[in-house]
């Protein structure tokens, strides 16, 4: 399984850093939605689902967290620790986010609007959807 990690260009000067993300330039899809999570309670795992259509890029813009990506046959863990690094999460990929530092802010750029019917929340159903079911 290939992990697509992005290293964005920080525009730094004596005032500090700035990262700009543009659709189709820095991000490979039209950005229809942006959301972020913060104040994640210690020990909790978020996500635990896949998407049928949604593509996303996750950026931990403050603090750190880990992303588990699972394509049904292989699992990989991607640490996100820098505000200029992102990981691409394709559709059909089970994802879990965990090990959030107390100060973590996880920003998500999404290719689609929120749609509950796009979620696969049952792991066995996910395995069947990617052809890895029993």
Residues labelled as active-site residues: 49
Shortest Å, Cβ 89 to ligand T46: 6
Q: Does 83 bind ligand T46 (CB under 6 A)?
A: no
Q: Does 95 bind ligand T46 (CB under 6 A)?
A: yes
List beta partners, residue 125: none
Q: With respect to ligand T46, which residue has the nearer C-beta, 97 or 105?
A: 97
Site residues for ligand T46, 12-51, by CB under 6 A, read 33, 35, 37, 46-47
* Contact (Cβ atoms closer than 8 angstroms) between residue 1 and residue 93: no
* Contact (Cβ atoms closer than 8 angstroms) between residue 64 and residue 120: no
Q: Does 56 bind ligand T46 (CB under 6 A)?
A: yes
* Contact (Cβ atoms closer than 8 angstroms) between residue 23 and residue 68: no
């Amino acid at each position: 399984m290939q992990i697509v990690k992005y290293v964005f260009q920080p525009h730094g000067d004596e005032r500090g850093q700035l990262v700009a993300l543009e659709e189709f330039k820095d991000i490979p899809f039209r950005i229809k939605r942006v959301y972020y999570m913060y104040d994640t309670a210690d020990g909790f795992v978020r996500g635990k689902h896949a998407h049928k259509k949604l593509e996303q890029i996750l950026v931990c813009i403050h603090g750190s967290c880990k992303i588990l990506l699972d394509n049904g046959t292989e699992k990989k863990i991607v640490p996100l620790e820098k505000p200029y690094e992102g990981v691409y999460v394709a559709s059909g990929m089970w994802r879990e986010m965990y090990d959030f530092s107390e100060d973590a802010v996880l920003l998500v750029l999404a290719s689609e609007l929120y749609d509950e019917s796009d979620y696969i929340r049952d792991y066995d159903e996910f395995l069947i959807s990617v052809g890895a079911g029993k």
